[in-house]
Amino acid sequence: MVNPCQTPVNCPSWFRSIRRISTHSRTFYRSFRHCVCFIVHRDHRPHHTRNYRRCAADNVRYLELRFTPVALSRAESFPLAEVMDWVVNAARQAEQEHHVKTRLIASVNRQESIDLATEVVRLAADRRDQGIVGLDLAGNEAQHTGLPFAGLFREARQMGLRITVHRG
C-alpha cells in the first residue's frame, strides 16, 4: 500500500476517505501504517497546532490522546523512552499554548511481545506525573488475543494507570 501521507496536505483527504476502505480486518488494520508516518514527521507540527486551536475554539478544556510508543519508536528508530518524553513534551507545549488540558494514554498492540508491552507499561508508569494517565490495548483482535496481556494490565492498574481496551 502506498503511503498517502507524504505531506500534511495529503493526509486530511486520505483520512476522510478511510470510510470507503473495506471493514475486513486485514485491509482495515493495514491502513493504520500510514498514521505513524503522519504523526512523527516534524513538518506536520502546524497540523497538530491547528487541531489544538480547533479544540480550544470549540471550548474543549480536557483532551485525552492515545499514542503507540512502539510504532513511533520503530518509524524513526527512536528509543522508547525518548519517544515517551517527546510525546509528553509536545502535549505539554500544546497544552500551554492552547489552554486545553491534555492527558496521554499509551497504547500497546496485541501483536507485540509481552516484553515490549512490559517496557511500555514501566515507562508510562514512570511518567504518570508528567501526564500519562492510562494504558490501552489495541490492534487486530481477530488475529491476536488480548489474554496474554491480562496480567500486565492488572499490574499497570496497580501502578496507577487507567485501562482501556479496543475491541470489536
C-alpha span between 136 and 138 (Å, rounded): 6
Beta strands across the sheet bearing 132-138: 62-67, 101-109, 132-138, 162-165
Q: What is the pTM of this model?
A: 0.75
What residue has cell string 488480548?
A: 146
C-alpha span between 95 and 101 (Å, rounded): 6
What structural domains and CATH numbers belong to the chain? 44-165 (3.20.20.140)
Q: Indicate left, alpha or beta for 21 from its phi (over 0: left) and psi (-120 to 50: alpha).
A: beta
Angle between helical axes of 114-126 and 80-98 (0-180°, round to 10): 40
User: What pLDDT is recorded for position 58?
Assistant: 85
User: What pLDDT is recorded for position 73?
Assistant: 87
C-alpha span between 159 and 138 (Å, rounded): 20
What residue ranges in 54-155 does DSSP mark as E strands?
62-67, 101-109, 132-138
Contact 102, 63 (CB under 8 A): yes
C-alpha span between 57 and 139 (Å, rounded): 32
Amino acid at 73: S
* Per-residue confidence in pLDDT tens, the chain, 168 aa: 444 444 444 554 544 554 455 455 555 545 444 444 444 444 444 455 667 778 888 888 898 888 899 988 887 788 999 989 988 988 888 888 888 899 999 999 999 999 999 999 999 999 999 999 999 999 888 889 999 999 999 999 999 999 999 775
User: What pLDDT is recorded for position 24?
Assistant: 53
Using alpha carbons, select from 107, 111, 85, 84 the residue that is nearest to residue 153: 107
